[in-house]
A and B are shown apart, each in its own frame.
Chain A
């Protein structure tokens, strides 16, 4: 009964490179959420997706960040032209949807370091 899976667990990128973070939701879950945790800060919502749809991206920076959740395969959070300020832990959560959408189960996170 696998939980939310994220990979890679650690990612090092030089400034200007692209980062791709992947998230596979729990079995039976069709809703995915991405959150970012900066050092010494709380988790901040970034985006909420269902299969092939972005439902709420109010927390996504306007530039360089994008997310998708295709019909097949994992959800991807993509950061183009990374900068040092993008260094953080990125967590993905999933929920079953419907009335249980607030029950969000988190993955282990991807720790992005930009050098």
Chain B
């Protein structure tokens, strides 16, 4: 079993839709939960992150962590064609700063 699992997609939605992107993980020691966006042939771009459980909101993006079920979510409101990219979740622990990346979910927002 991989430490971090993501549905690879592609997930295709119409412009303006609410998008839900999810990860599951197996290591209960994870405390940091990062979300990155990666456009084709570019470097990952840090979108937002949470520490431990709870929600965090930043503009159209909301990150949610449920440690009891080891489930991480990223919600995108009012999705735009420019949101079309691969979204990577990447948790980490307090004791090591290496991030464990999921394989990414490819999102396509149709105009």
Q: Which residues of A are in contact with B by a Cβ distance under 8 Å?
A: 4, 31, 33, 35, 41-45, 48, 55-56, 58-59, 91, 95, 101-109, 111
Contacts and interface: CB of A to CB of B under 8 A. Distances in A.
B49 A103 contact: yes
B43 A108 contact: yes
Contacts of A59: 98
A56 B96 contact: yes
A107 B45 CA distance: 9
B60 interface: no
A102 B43 contact: no
Given A33-B97, A48-B97, A108-B42, A102 B104 contact: no
Contacts of A45: 98-100
A43 B92 contact: no
